[in-house]
Structure 1
Amino acid sequence: MEPWLGDDETRAVADVLASGILTQGPKVKAFEAQFSALQEVRHAVATSNGTTALHLALVVAGIGPGDDVVVPSLAFIATANAVTYVGARPVFCDVDPVTGTVTGSTIRAALTLDTRAVIVVDQGGVPVDLEPVRELCERHEITVIEDAGCAVGSQYKGRPVGTGADVAVWSFHPDNVLTTGEGGMLTTHRADWAARARSLRSHSVNVPAADRRRSRMAAPEVYVEVGFDCQMTDLQAAIGIVQLGRLREIVARRREIAARYEAGLSGLAGLRFVADPPYGTTNFQSFWLEVLPGFATDREGLLARLADAGISARRGAMAAHRQPAYRWRDTGNAGLQTTERLTDRTLVLPIFHGLDNVGLNRVMNSVRAAAGVRR
């Protein structure tokens, strides 16, 4: 992955530097407004990264010690970490074998008597089938949090992902489709949750820093509860505003590259490619494929062949329950066979805006060669 950055981002950052307001200020406010409009949600709260956004989401949802939170193991470890930060217990669930995302049935198998929240993950930008999850959780009064960190630009049933969750979170890391260098966002329709998240991200001070700067004589600072320091800067927000303006073009280009990969490699036996689910469209934050037993080599062998050709491919999504930090964690009554299979068999091919035809053909020719097919 390489982020698409250019002169517009450079000028936007230069304008912020010239303004003298470098920390959280008017650009952050503008970025939040534009992002909430794009995602068709009432409130957006910018943060320092996606993990802090998820941490805040759990806090404002009232999740804490004694609570269980169902999370997919097939996700970046930050998803489970955020649950641990608030003193709750992550309970791992399995995923759908085709999409790599949770389903109502995989969540149901992991529910416990103490389940207070469920975190669904749009894995690699593939949208979760959210309606069955919501129906299940509403029956049990369980909060639905959507980790849409990789999914800006993806759609679920014709609407942006994240709109149907109680609260959703986003990441703007350079590996994602829209980047601010680092940065994150929390979105929700609940005004009270958004207001508390805004307070918590700035140490829960009663007067925001921007208001203190504007006032002739600032009022005494009061810290209403123990908060955090996870603010976005105006430098980051300025980049984000530019990136939002070209998001449609970025996603279209990634979908074009994914279509080229599928067309060029679909004739090879033993490979299965990520694709749009029937209920939505993916932004192809990742173009992953599953190496099946019918292929000429296994996943590690294909990765080695690509590396020998100077091509930077990577293993697919990790299984968090296999990591030393979570080896002792619970899975309820859920089996994680699909998660383990996808972790062992999937890899991610290069996909970014600047990947030209020469690069695409290099990648595809190397995969064909690993399959024993001549150019």
Structure 2
Amino acid sequence: MIPIIAPFIGESEAEAASAVVLSGWLSQGPEVAAFEKEFAEAVGADYACAVSNCTVALHLALLAVGVGPGDEVVLASHTFIACANAVRQCGAVPVFVDIDPTTFNMDPELVEAAITERTKALMCIHQMGMPCNMEALLPLARAHGLAVVEDAACAVGSEIFIGGEWQPIGSPLGDVACFSLHPRKLLTVGDGGMLTTANAEFDQRFRLWRQHGMSVPDTVRHKSQTVIVEEYPVPGFNYRLTDVQGAIGRAQLKRLDDIVSRRRELAGAYREMLNAIPGVSAPDEPEWAKTNWQSYCVRLPEGAPQIEIMQKMLDRGVATRRGIMCVHLEPAYADTKPRFPLPESERAQKGSLLLPLFHQMTEDMQNQVVSALKDALA
């Protein structure tokens, strides 16, 4: 069986985790702090704050930029449901716009019509690792006085050409960028998240909120030679990462350049192989984007039976995933009627397929995937 993805993880991560276990400090502590510093350096951010997953990172990011009950956040429906859930968790309303069919990301030309006096923020989702068109979206947000939260869950290692230079996703370009460290992502700690920002005040809020609103972190209290009694000046959450995960994350960061390079090689090989299948369209990168190829999403021939093709490929030992979900089509959002038609989002969900892609993939595996797809279509 060829899986959709396999984490690139091994002895170095096991040794890092073992060292933490033997140290006796397992909860959020010095390894998390070191991981945050190294992650910030890797993506060119001033600050990085680790949390338990990307969904809570989105929640804290939206809270920090002031999203609250009755506000609206503009985003694509063509994304994992966590994006909209985080908006609702703030008491706000997700307002969905359609995607650019080339990038699978929010179409900047459709955003302005979605902005109202209640709009508080744009959520720019770098879908499947493909950078969103920030050069078009940032001026639009500034013109309307809106905050920008980047869902960079899939995009560690991706780059965008903006302001006359290539910049890593996570710099961040907006107010806050949120990353996932789930096993399906390029870097994983089992599960986790990271917020990056250039705003020192936001970073301090994240650190306060993630630990119950505690005024003094554990690392300070345990090192002190005098008794410290912490205070809880604001309500908070338990959104912490453990030191075991922090140690694994540090080991994973050392692999990042190699992982991205390998995935770009594999994506290039897929493109050549897929040319032999009529009607199948390989994904494209705009000239201003360098994706990390977190996922490799192909367009199927018009009218092709997506689920039937997936089953036939599974029968041949190849796991796939349907095109990225549309939140507005899920039962949980049946009460959120889209204000605008979303034909490209719906077409992408029903008419595309994610093929296996992971660092350890071989040429024989890719041939098996492409052969299975060709036979399923036939």
Alignment partners' CA distance in 2, 1:53 and 1:293: 37
TM-score w.r.t. the length of structure 1 is: 0.96
Alignment partners' CA distance in 2, 1:326 and 1:218: 50
Superposed CA deviations along residues 135-187 of structure 1, whole A, max 9, x for unmatched, are 11101000010000000000011110132111110000000011111100011
Alignment partners' CA distance in 2, 1:35 and 1:106: 33
TM-score w.r.t. the length of structure 2 is: 0.95
> Which of residues 223, 227, 232 in structure 1 aligns to 2:236?
227
Aligned twin of 1:315? 322
Q: Does 1:106 align with 2:106?
A: no
> Which of residues 174, 183, 194 in structure 2 aligns to 1:185?
194
Residue 330 of structure 1 deviates from its aligned partner by 4.2
Superposed CA deviations along residues 48-89 of structure 1, whole A, max 9, x for unmatched, are 000011100011111101210011100000000000111111
Residue 331 of structure 1 deviates from its aligned partner by 3.0
Residue 21 of structure 1 deviates from its aligned partner by 1.0
> Which of residues 133, 138, 141 in structure 2 aligns to 1:137?
141
Alignment partners' CA distance in 1, 2:231 and 2:270: 56
Residue 277 of structure 1 deviates from its aligned partner by 1.8
Residue 218 of structure 1 deviates from its aligned partner by 3.1
Alignment partners' CA distance in 2, 1:300 and 1:52: 32
Aligned twin of 2:156? 152
Give me the CA root mean square deviation.
Answer: 1.2
Give the letter for the 2:284 counterpart. A
The range that moved more, 360-369 or 75-84, is: 360-369
Structure 1 unaligned regions, length at least 5? none
Aligned twin of 2:348? 342
- Runs of 4+ more than 4 Å apart: none
Aligned twin of 1:76? 80
Alignment partners' CA distance in 1, 2:349 and 2:193: 26
Aligned twin of 2:312? 305
Aligned twin of 2:62? 58
Alignment partners' CA distance in 2, 1:353 and 1:65: 43
The range that moved more, 355-364 or 104-113, is: 104-113
Alignment partners' CA distance in 2, 1:230 and 1:34: 20
Alignment partners' CA distance in 2, 1:52 and 1:9: 24
Alignment partners' CA distance in 1, 2:363 and 2:138: 42
How many residues align? The count is 369
Give the letter for the 2:63 counterpart. V
Aligned twin of 1:166? 175
Aligned twin of 1:329? 336
Residue 358 of structure 1 deviates from its aligned partner by 2.1
Q: Residue 49 of structure 1 contacts residue 185 of structure 1 at CA under 8 Å; is this kept in 2?
A: yes
Q: Does 1:49 align with 2:58?
A: no
Aligned twin of 1:200? 209
Q: Does 1:357 align with 2:363?
A: yes
Alignment partners' CA distance in 2, 1:355 and 1:188: 34
Give the letter for the 2:261 counterpart. A
Map 1:234-313; keep pairs closer than 5 Å: 234-293=243-302, 297-313=304-320
The range that moved more, 314-323 or 160-169, is: 160-169
Q: Residue 103 of structure 1 contacts residue 133 of structure 1 at CA under 8 Å; is this kept in 2?
A: no
The range that moved more, 184-193 or 352-361, is: 352-361
Map 1:4-43; keep pairs closer than 5 Å: 4-43=8-47
What percentage of aligned pairs have identical amino acids? 40
Superposed CA deviations along residues 290-328 of structure 1, whole A, max 9, x for unmatched, are 11228xx43223212201101111112000001111122
Give the letter for the 2:213 counterpart. S
Q: Residue 322 of structure 2 contacts residue 353 of structure 2 at CA under 8 Å; is this kept in 1?
A: yes
Alignment partners' CA distance in 2, 1:32 and 1:84: 28
Q: Residue 274 of structure 2 contacts residue 282 of structure 2 at CA under 8 Å; is this kept in 1?
A: no
